[in-house]
């Protein structure tokens, strides 16, 4: 049996994009279907199309929207690698960037001028993402000249507007009601802002744990004790945010949320901040788009670990892959209306994936005997 899928890059992630209706046509359990296509569970995903890293084992399910307010319904899945599990609990900001381009390339949305706005409804969070996609000469293009940090080749840019991103999962921007909490770890307490914008995120004040926010991924991932302490902070945050009933349950409930990030003042003296984050227990090579939205939300909320940009301009966040810039647009009450991030996206391949049958056909004995 074969399943149609398109391999796309959105920002610094690679994801396989499925027409939701194609997966429905296969039937059966959707988690099992994705796990087998990706070759999971297997740390190398060698017998499937997964890329064996958290940023390359992602699935995007798309269909023309069932609601009149949106063009496309978009569901994100983080497909387990060594773990036999699919996590549907959150959105992926980088993967979001492929949705408008795909919808235009598939003919689901009609181009309107040089740039076409595609309204995307993310079903994981119930939130809307506005996407402005280049359609030069009135047609979508797979070629562009926008370069972003972490991707060495240019491609078409996409402006993403995360509208009213607060409370995506927990219902409130500050699920604890406080801009600042203290999380328990075996190395003492760490101050943190627990923010639910785009995705629930625990933003730690790094210096409380001796972190300057300029750590390299190798430094962090090579320090099992630090990863343990960060995991403790995440587990405690999960409980305070109402996601897990107890710290011991946090990983079981979701390894993906809350996101865990830490910050500190920028060493460059440019009024920016440092930003580092974990993704599925390892340091992210850059910063997830949804976490940069959480940073933006915190920056316009008094009393958090993230300062407001001095001039009311964009927030500059230094990541392992360079500087990410986010802009927050406020509503009349001073709350966060929309957070804008620029990404790029490209279709890499159009494919038919092979799905092995329920029971393998028997080979002839000769073919799988010991070497003759």
Cβ-contact 112, 135 below 8 angstroms: yes
CB nearer to a copy of itself: pick between 41 and 303: 41
CB nearer to a copy of itself: pick between 226 and 239: 226
DSSP secondary structure letter of residue 299: H
Examine residue 307 and tell whether it contacts a copy of itself (CB under 8 A): no
DSSP secondary structure letter of residue 43: T
The residues in 143-172 that bind a copy of itself, with binding defined as CB under 8 A, are 143-146, 150-159
- Cβ of residue 339: shortest distance to a copy of itself, in angstroms? 9
Count of residues that bind a copy of itself according to CB under 8 A: 74
- Cβ of residue 178: shortest distance to a copy of itself, in angstroms? 29
Examine residue 42 and tell whether it contacts a copy of itself (CB under 8 A): yes
CB nearer to a copy of itself: pick between 122 and 344: 344
Examine residue 354 and tell whether it contacts a copy of itself (CB under 8 A): yes
The residues in 94-113 that bind a copy of itself, with binding defined as CB under 8 A, are none
Using the rule CB under 8 A, which residue among 20, 26, 31, 52 binds a copy of itself? 52
Encode burial over 99-131: b for 16+ CB neighbours within 10 A, e otherwise. bbbbbbbeebbebeeeebebbbbbbbbebbbbb
Number of neighbouring beta carbons within 10 Å of residue 137: 8
Site string for a copy of itself, 127-146 (x = CB under 8 A): -----xxx-x----xxxxxx
Could you write out the DSSP letters of every residue in 121-182?
A: EETTTTEEEEEEEE-GGGS--S---B--TT--S-B-EEEEEEES-BTTTTSSSSTTS-S-EE
What size, in residues, is the chain? 372
Site string for a copy of itself, 180-209 (x = CB under 8 A): ------------------------------
- Cβ of residue 42: shortest distance to a copy of itself, in angstroms? 5
Examine residue 93 and tell whether it contacts a copy of itself (CB under 8 A): no
Q: Judge if the upstream peptide bond of residue 210 is cis by omega within 30 degrees of 0.
A: no
Using the rule CB under 8 A, which residue among 314, 316, 323, 335 binds a copy of itself? 314
Q: How far is CA 212 from the centre of its chain?
A: 24
CB nearer to a copy of itself: pick between 241 and 296: 296
Examine residue 351 and tell whether it contacts a copy of itself (CB under 8 A): yes
> Which of these ranges, 20-28, 35-43, 62-70, 228-236, lies near a copy of itself under the rule CB under 8 A?
35-43
- Cβ of residue 80: shortest distance to a copy of itself, in angstroms? 13
| Cα(319)–Cα(335) distance, integer angstroms | 26
> Which of these ranges, 17-25, 271-279, 297-305, 339-347, lies near a copy of itself under the rule CB under 8 A?
339-347
Alpha helices in 15-77 (DSSP H): 20-26, 30-38
The residues in 211-270 that bind a copy of itself, with binding defined as CB under 8 A, are none
The most distant pair of C-alpha atoms in the chain lies apart, rounded to whole Å, by 79
| Cα(58)–Cα(290) distance, integer angstroms | 15
Using the rule CB under 8 A, which residue among 106, 115, 123, 189 binds a copy of itself? 115
Cβ-contact 200, 171 below 8 angstroms: no
- Cβ of residue 2: shortest distance to a copy of itself, in angstroms? 8
- Classified as helix, coil or strand, 252 is helix
């Amino acid at each position: 049996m074969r399943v149609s899928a398109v391999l796309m890059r959105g920002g610094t992630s690679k994801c396989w994009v499925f027409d939701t209706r194609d997966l429905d046509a296969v039937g059966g359990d959707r988690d099992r279907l994705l796990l087998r296509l990706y070759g999971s569970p297997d740390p190398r995903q060698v017998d499937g199309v997964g890329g064996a890293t958290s940023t390359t084992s992602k699935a995007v399910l798309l269909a023309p929207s069932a609601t009149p307010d949106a063009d496309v319904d978009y569901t994100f899945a983080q497909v387990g690698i060594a773990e036999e599990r699919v996590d549907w609990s959150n959105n992926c900001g980088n993967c979001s960037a492929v949705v408008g381009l795909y919808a235009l390339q598939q003919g689901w949305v009609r181009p309107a001028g040089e740039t076409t706005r595609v309204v995307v409804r993310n079903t994981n969070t119930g939130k809307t993402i506005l996407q402005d996609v280049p359609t030069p000469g009135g047609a979508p293009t797979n070629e562009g000249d926008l370069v972003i940090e972490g991707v060495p080749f240019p491609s078409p840019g996409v402006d993403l507007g995360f509208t009213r991103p607060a409370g995506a999962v927990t219902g409130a921007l500050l699920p604890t009601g406080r801009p600042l909490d203290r999380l328990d770890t075996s190395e003492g307490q760490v101050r943190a802002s627990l923010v639910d914008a785009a995705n629930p995120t625990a933003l730690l004040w790094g210096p409380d744990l001796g972190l300057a926010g300029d750590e390299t991924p190798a430094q962090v991932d090579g320090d099992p004790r630090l990863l343990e302490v960060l995991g403790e902070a995440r587990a405690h945050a999960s409980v305070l945010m109402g996601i897990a009933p107890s710290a011991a349950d946090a990983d079981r409930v979701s390894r993906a949320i809350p996101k865990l990030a830490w910050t500190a003042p920028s060493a460059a003296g440019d009024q920016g901040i440092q930003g580092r984050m974990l993704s599925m227990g390892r340091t992210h090579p850059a910063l997830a788009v949804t976490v940069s939205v959480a940073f933006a939300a915190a920056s316009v909320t008094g009393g958090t670990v993230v300062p407001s940009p001095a001039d009311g301009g964009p927030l500059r966040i230094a990541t392992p892959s360079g500087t990410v810039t986010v802009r927050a647009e406020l509503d009349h009450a001073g709350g966060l209306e929309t957070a804008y991030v620029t990404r790029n996206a490209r279709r890499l391949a159009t494919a038919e994936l092979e799905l092995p049958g329920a029971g393998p056909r028997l080979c002839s004995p000769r073919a799988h005997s010991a070497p003759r």
